[in-house]
Structures are given as structure tokens and as C-alpha cells.
Amino acid sequence: MYLEATLIDIARTPQSTFNEIIEKYVEMNVAHPFREGNSHSTRIWLDTILKREIDKVVDWSKVDKEDYMLAMERSPIKEAGIKVLLKNSLTNLVNDREVYMKGMDPSYHYEGYLLQ
């Protein structure tokens, strides 16, 4: 019952500005019932929404793993850290395949996987 209500609230959350999108991102991360794969899938969602709403994406190769993990851990209490970290890594190269592909490796690295 709690999860269902939470998901309804998240779906209703606005997502037209950078701050609204990141706030929704944090809520989605908290609501996801599984740690494994959660962050990777929500990062893909995040870039999709950022691209659609504000014509930007995160260049994940510029986001340090430890900084990201710490900011996400703190984000349910204080979102400022994750907002600053991600805002400083935004790019308008939304259709650049190299930015997208360079972002995949760090994204998996955050989860503890090493791509070879």
C-alpha cells in the first residue's frame, strides 16, 4: 500500500525544471525496492527526462563515483549535494554518442561492475 501511494505521488511530481527533475530522481531512487540495478536504471531515466525537458544530459564521465554515492546517500535528507554535482556535469551534447557511451562505463562502475 505504501509503495503504491508513493509511486502515484512520484508520477504526479512535476519534472519541467532541473530542480524538479532531480527531486523526482531522488524520490524514485528511494522508492525502488531493490538496490541492485536501481541506480543504473534511474540514471538512464534521468538522462531521458533531462534531454526531453531541458535539452541537457549528464556527462557521467565527469561525475566521481565516491562523490555521487555520498550525494545520493544524503539526498533523501538534503538534495543540494546531488543537485550541485549533477548540474556541474550537464552538457548540451544530448545526441553525442560518445558522451552517451562514455557515460555507460561510469554508470556501471558506480554499481561495482567493471567493463572490459
> Is the dihedral angle over the CA atoms 22, 14, 91, 101 positive or is it negative?
positive
Q: Cα–chain-centroid distance for residue 76?
A: 13
Q: Read off the pLDDT of residues 4-31 as tens digits, 9 standing for 90 and up.
A: 787 788 888 889 999 999 999 888 887 7
Q: What pTM, to 2 d.p., does this model score? A: 0.80
Contact 24, 15 (CB under 8 A): yes
Grade residue 103 by pLDDT with cuts at 50, 70 and 90.
low
Q: Read off the pLDDT of residues 43-73 as tens digits, 9 standing for 90 and up.
A: 888 888 999 999 999 998 888 888 988 998 8
Give the domain ranges of the chain.
2-110
Contact 3, 31 (CB under 8 A): yes
CA–CA dist 2, 103 (Å, integer): 33
> Is the dihedral angle over the CA atoms 73, 43, 38, 63 positive or is it negative?
negative
Contact 99, 59 (CB under 8 A): yes
The CATH number of the structural domain formed by 2-110 is: 1.10.3290.10
In this prediction, residues 75-79 reach a mean pLDDT of 89
